[in-house]
Structures are given as structure tokens and as C-alpha cells.
Chain A
């Protein structure tokens, strides 16, 4: 009660940030979204168009599908890393945190190019595979689903690693010892004790990845192929190429709606409180 009152009186401290967000974000976004209902004329014709033209449905389906693949792959890769970070030696923890953070200090564009260099027809991976005679022909790794997945997963890994780490670090190793003395084999104590206790971090991380993937632009544009076109690329196309602000707004509303529904589901299951913690 006391704390709340004090917070309220100091709420004016939020003003600068609130103004910035209002002017630089809410206003233009609101304006774009409103175009869905007003451009070129008032009504729902833009949403009908999304429904009628197969290309829109295909891209939206694509986007969901890609996010649905990226998410489990990222979680599976992040899990052992986060585990080592939480329960390895302090030295191991320092190194891993450093290594996971390095990409954060690097521009997304640079990382996308780096991935492209790795994956291209005569890139590092193909040279290696050819050099050791593992393949005869260079593998097509770039401008297709492989390149897109590699790019998304490498960029998004930290977003799962850190929430998972924070959940895992709170798991007392005594729980696993106790489970063992109570008759649980390592596999069973993993599934019955460890995994459930990592769920808050896991769900948080997975949601972050899923939602981020839904709205990705640079990665699919640079590493994916034409068949992996995603919703953000479509929005960009509509505006930059066709000047079609109405359809772009409608697509944005769909994207925003999907995100909102996801967060709502999350709130109902794990609770956002858990995430904020």
C-alpha cells in the first residue's frame, strides 16, 4: 500500500520515456494500423483481401510454420548451454556468459552476413565438406529454409539461454540428489524434477523466440529464399513496392493480434509474473 502510493507520486519520472514512446512509436504505429480500416476507403476490404488472395495466406502460414520450427530447435540447443551455465564450474559460467553475450554487441546485419559467408555455395562449411570428401557437390545451404533456420536460431539462442539459465540457477542441486536417493534414475529425475522446474524459463524463452521470429525481417530477407517469404517482408513489399498502406496495416494487425493471443495464452498458463521475476 505504502509502496504503491510512493510510486504513484513519483510517476512523473516516467514522463520522458512515455513521451518518447508515444511520439516515436505509438503514434506512427497507431497511424499505420488505422490505415487498415481507412485506406483506400473506410471498411474491412483490406482484411477481405488477406483472406482472398492465396499469397497472403501462404506467407502467414509460412511465418507460423517457420516460427514453429525455429522455437523447438532453439530451445533444444539452448538447454544444455544454460544447464552448463547454471551448474558448471564458475569459470565455465563466466566463459559461457561472455560467449553468449558477444553476439549482442555485434550488429544484426554483420551477423547475418557472417552466417551467409559460412553457408554460401563456396563458403566455409561447403569448403570443409568438399575438402574432406564428405559431399561431392556443394550443399545448398543459403537462400532456403536451411539458411533461414540457421540465421534465426543463432540470433535467437541468447533469448532462450538467459531465461532458462535464470530458472536453472534457482534449482537446488539437492533436489536431484534427493530424487536419486528416492529411487529415481537420472532419466526419470530429469523428466519428473529438473525439467518441470525449468518450465518458467523455458516457456519465457520459447515465447520470446516464437514472437520474435513472427516479426523477423532482416534474417529472412538475407538468408531465406523466395519460398520462405515471411510476413514482415510482405509488409515491407506492400509499402515500399506497391504503396499499399492499407494491406500493410491489415497484415500488421494480424501480426500484432497473433502476438497478443500468444502472450495472453502465456499469461493464462505460466503467468507473466513468472517472466517478470
Chain B
């Protein structure tokens, strides 16, 4: 088996003056679930479209299962695609929709019937075959679209915000369904979303997109715990950003002068003294105590979240930061004149501002 089902090398695409995708390199391992995550307009859809063959890249090459497909039309590529709008053919029943790609491949009738049954069972819609798409709910339509895109076992399944049109409950349920199908079929998936929670839940790896480039690619925990750039730190999960100035770097740790006091934070590359930095710390890593080490501040708000309490602490210089504490921890008083905020150095990262 080929190790990388998909390889993009130097792929670029521009629309007039807009650079949609900029010299992109990306590898997708066989069987992997890789998500492209990024804000609106960052080039996720464009990338997916180029992989599908629905858009032509201006530069670069695309390899599918080791073979160049850059100039092949979509119908000659071994891919399946699920669209946000489902794109089920409205004049065909569910069965006919799912059978469509198999008919295009000229499979015998009996084989088609068997594969369609199997695919509909996999998406838990075995009894809906004779309905028209408009007789199904949005979630059911998306399941049919999923069945249709994988019934012929394409080398790679592409999904562009497939759950974007569904409400939160249904979205979470379908996330698990898609994960289950991925697991059971061992199919390689390239998934697009701008919902970071969705990306964290579903992916083996996530590629964070920003302005047509990949900012960072890695496992969800990596991105969350060791963001490579300030963009990634603030895009994935909630994070506190404290402005300051570098005092110099040694052994991967940077000394930072902030308005509230000195602190240290991990860095990827040394930051020269005098350079402006921001220090990122996750709210659940902040320790808030009535006294002791750390930056001083006051609690200005407490928000009860069910499993945790969220404290809004205003630091001496006026910056507000957020701290999460389990509900099982004793609550801190809002009236506390002064508290100390600290964290484990390993959980703070500094970036050049």
C-alpha cells in the first residue's frame, strides 16, 4: 500500500488579485483523517476543489495514490466528495442516488444492489431507499450524500463543511457517525471546517490555514498545547494573550517583561532582547490564588459553566485574562481585593508580536 494517498507539492491558485492558495505542500497518509481548519476565505475550499479537479491549480502538482492527477478532470480521479449543500440529485430516489457512481463505473446490476444496501446500512438508512431527497431531513440527506460518496470505495473522501447547514445537536451526532464510518471503512478523509471544536473532535491531524498558507500541521493535542504561531494559539481554543517585551532567550525559554511583572515562556526559536512579544496561556492552565507567586490582579467576574467556573481577572496593567477552575475547587470570592495569577512555565508560549 502506498504510504501517502495524497501529496500536494507547491500548489498555488489565484483569482485575479486574490491569492487563494499559496505554494501549498501537504501529505495525507493512507487511512488518515486530516482536517483543513481556518477562517473564512483562507483557501480551504479552493484546496479541496483542486484535489477534486473542480479547480485547476496555477502551479504545483497533485499526486493521488502516487500518480499525478493535476490535469485530470474530476471524473477520472478516484475520489468521493461530500458537499455542504448535499447536492443529492433531486429527481432520483435515495437508492438511485447511491447507485449513480456504481452505474457510472459499469458494475453489474446485482453487485450494485448489494453495494447500495451495504452503504445505506452503514449510514443507518436501510429503509429509506425509495424516498426522494426532499422527503428526508437535512441530517438524513447528508448521510445519503456520505453513502453516495463512498459506496465505490474511492481512494480519498473529500468533505467541505458537510455539517455546516445542520444544528448543533445533529452536527455532534453526525461527527461521531462520520468518525465511525471512517474507522469501519479505513477510508482516507480530507475534511474542511472552520469549526475548531469539530476539527479537534474528528481529526487525526489538523492543518491550520491562514491566508492561503498552512500555519501549522499536527495532531490536535500538538496544536492545542504547542501552537507554532500566535495565529494558531488564538484560533484553536480559548487563550490568554499577554503583551510584553523579550529580555532574551536561553535553553528554549524566553524571559519576558510585562506590565504586571517578569515571567518566562517557551519559545520555538530564540527571540532577541527588546523585541515585542505576546505570551499565550490556556485558561485551564492559569492558577488563581489569593496570594503567592505570580502576576497580581483582581477578579472582576465569575461565570458558572456547569463543569467549571470561569474567572475574569484584571491584571495590574488593565489586561483581562480568563482562568478556568473545576467546580469541585472551592470558589474564589468576587470581592477578593487582590489575587495572584501564575502557571507552569511549560504551558506558556511566547511569540513575536
Contacts and interface: CB of A to CB of B under 8 A. Distances in A.
Contacts, number: 58
A180 B74 contact: yes
Contact of A177 (B87, B100, B149, B152): B87
Given A183-B101, A183-B104, A188-B104, A177 B74 contact: yes
Interface stretch (A30-38, A191-199, A212-220, A243-251): A191-199
A185 interface: yes
Given A188-B104, A197-B90, A197-B91, A181 B85 contact: no
A214 B83 CA distance: 46
B54 A180 contact: yes
Interface residues of B, number: 24
A18 to B, nearest CB: 37
B174 interface: no
B316 to A, nearest CB: 55
Interface string A166-205: 0000001011011111111100100011001100000000
Q: Please report whether the interface of chain A is mostly helix, strand, loop or mixed according to DSSP.
A: helix
Given A174-B85, A175-B87, A175-B89, A181 B152 contact: no
Q: How large is the interface on A (under 10, 10 to 19, 20 to 34, 35 or more residues)?
A: 10 to 19
Nearest to A173: B87
Nearest to B84: A174
Contacts of A197: 90-91
Contact of A179 (B80, B91, B100): B100
Given A172-B87, A175-B87, A197-B91, A181 B52 contact: yes
B109 interface: no
Contacts of B148: 182
B75 interface: yes
B104 A184 contact: yes
A55 B332 CA distance: 105
Given A182-B100, A183-B75, A177 B54 contact: yes
Which residue among A172, A181, A188, A196 has the maximum number of chain B CB atoms within 10 Å of its CB?
A: A181
A197 B227 CA distance: 49
Given A182-B101, A196-B91, A174 B83 contact: yes
A181 B73 CA distance: 9
Contacts of A183: 75, 101, 104-105, 152
Contacts of B77: 181
Contact of A178 (B53, B81, B105): B81
Contacts of B149: 181-182
A182 B149 CA distance: 7
A192 B101 CA distance: 12
Given A183-B104, A192-B100, A178 B83 contact: yes
A181 to B, nearest CB: 4
Contacts of A185: 75
B62 interface: no
A192 B90 CA distance: 12
Contacts of A180: 53-54, 73-75
Which residue among B73, B90, B149 has the maximum number of chain A CB atoms within 10 Å of its CB?
A: B90
Contacts of A184: 75, 100, 104
B79 interface: yes
A177 B90 contact: no
Nearest to B101: A182
Interface in B135-164: 148-149, 152, 158
A174 B160 CA distance: 12
B87 A178 contact: yes
Interface in A46-96: none
A178 B82 CA distance: 8
A174 B81 CA distance: 11
Interface in B142-200: 148-149, 152, 158
Nearest to B104: A183
Contacts of B73: 180
Given A175-B87, A193-B89, A181 B80 contact: yes
Contacts of A196: 91
A159 to B, nearest CB: 24
A188 B73 CA distance: 14
Interface string B99-129: 0110011000000000000000000000000
Interface of A: 172, 174-175, 177-185, 188, 192-193, 196-197
- 9 A-B pairs with least C-beta separation: A183-B104, A178-B87, A182-B101, A174-B87, A181-B81, A180-B74, A181-B74, A184-B104, A180-B75
Given A181-B79, A182-B101, A182-B148, 19 more contacts: A174-B83, A174-B85, A174-B87, A175-B89, A177-B54, A177-B81, A178-B81, A178-B83, A178-B89, A179-B89, A179-B100, A181-B75, A181-B81, A182-B149, A183-B75, A184-B100, A185-B75, A192-B100, A193-B89
27 contacts: A177-B83, A178-B83, A178-B87, A178-B89, A179-B100, A180-B73, A180-B74, A180-B75, A181-B52, A181-B53, A181-B74, A181-B75, A181-B77, A181-B79, A181-B158, A182-B75, A182-B148, A183-B75, A183-B101, A183-B104, A184-B100, A184-B104, A185-B75, A192-B100, A193-B89, A196-B91, A197-B91
